[in-house]
A and B are shown apart, each in its own frame.
Chain A
């Protein structure tokens, strides 16, 4: 349950990060680590690949002067609309959860 929740939230956060700017993988990781969503980097690569295979993300190569070319990710149109759906359902869940937990406090 916990892992499933984390997985869903992580997907939404990645899409939301990429909806505002195109990012290099390790920049994504840095931002997620700041938010303490990701502890180790290895978890992110399968997720990015899966999102890319699902057509929600795409990437392009950009030359780097400190090493080999870097993979920059950006969101696709499908990804954008998927993100909107996710955000809507997130809002619904959030409302529902806060409503029930508040009620519980009142009953107690």
Chain B
């Protein structure tokens, strides 16, 4: 049994198996990362999506549901990122562009938010720490406290910042705060981390009061289902820190 997903791939309405969708999605994401620096990359991606939709639509014929084989075949016609990575049609060299692009992204990628998950008063200090890449928010807090004791001004500054800096509400806010690019892999990883934290909390809670709750085992079960549902994230986010999956086998 397989779940199906309705997608619009470059203007083609397709019903696609979940695993086939994942393959297609990962492929397109890797490509868009690859073409990310070229001018008109969104146009290129649109063309490729349309062509991919056309290829899949033709391959599937009268069948209703697109399977993984259709996607893999379309990818082999379009070319894996491995086959495409050597061809760079932009004017400047790839390395300088890559290097320039990534450092630029780190600088502009961050936004100042208040970190509500790591707060003592309003999360201003932890937000500042994340923004400036300081590992532990305690140093920012110490500076604020010392300034407050010596001048008293940082107390007012804190209140003003508390008022004007928005809190990091959504997952993508949090990623922007950390300076990580907002893509599906990162969001999935973030959600998984949060779920892990939540399940730890649940375990702690029920671990202490375990004797009083007869349905403790039931909670454990539901918790497992909750986390196992995200198991595919582990796979997709595995590549986050390494380079993009350029190998053919990643897509087959």
Contacts and interface: CB of A to CB of B under 8 A. Distances in A.
Interface stretch (B82-90, B122-130, B205-213): B82-90
Of B12, B77, B87, the most chain A CB neighbours within 10 A belong to B87
Chain B contact residues, majority secondary structure:
helix
A45 B48 CA distance: 7
B39 interface: yes
Contacts of B57: 67
Interface string B3-23: 000000011100000000000
Contact of A41 (B10, B78, B86, B90): B78
Nearest to A42: B79
Given A7-B89, A39-B83, A43-B87, A49 B11 contact: no
Contacts of A46: 35, 38, 44, 87, 89-90
Contact of B47 (A7, A43, A45): A45
A46 B11 CA distance: 20
A50 B83 CA distance: 19
Interface residues of B, number: 27
B40 A50 contact: yes
Nearest to A41: B78
A35 to B, nearest CB: 17
A36 B53 CA distance: 24
B241 interface: no
Given A42-B83, A43-B79, A67 B51 contact: no
B47 A48 contact: yes
B90 A40 contact: no
B51 A41 contact: yes
B186 interface: no
Nearest to B87: A43
B59 to A, nearest CB: 13
Interface string A20-58: 000001100000000000011111011111101100000
A42 B31 contact: yes
Contact of B39 (A3, A53, A69): A53
B67 interface: no
A50 B51 contact: no
The residue in A46, A47, A52, A53 that gathers the most chain B C-beta atoms within 10 A of its C-beta is A46
Nearest to B77: A41
A67 B13 CA distance: 9
A25 B40 contact: no
Nearest to B9: A68
B77 A49 contact: no
15 contacts: A25-B47, A39-B79, A41-B77, A43-B79, A43-B84, A43-B87, A45-B47, A45-B48, A46-B35, A46-B38, A49-B38, A52-B40, A53-B40, A67-B12, A68-B50
The 7 closest A-B pairs by CB, nearest first: A40-B79, A68-B11, A42-B79, A49-B40, A46-B89, A45-B47, A42-B78
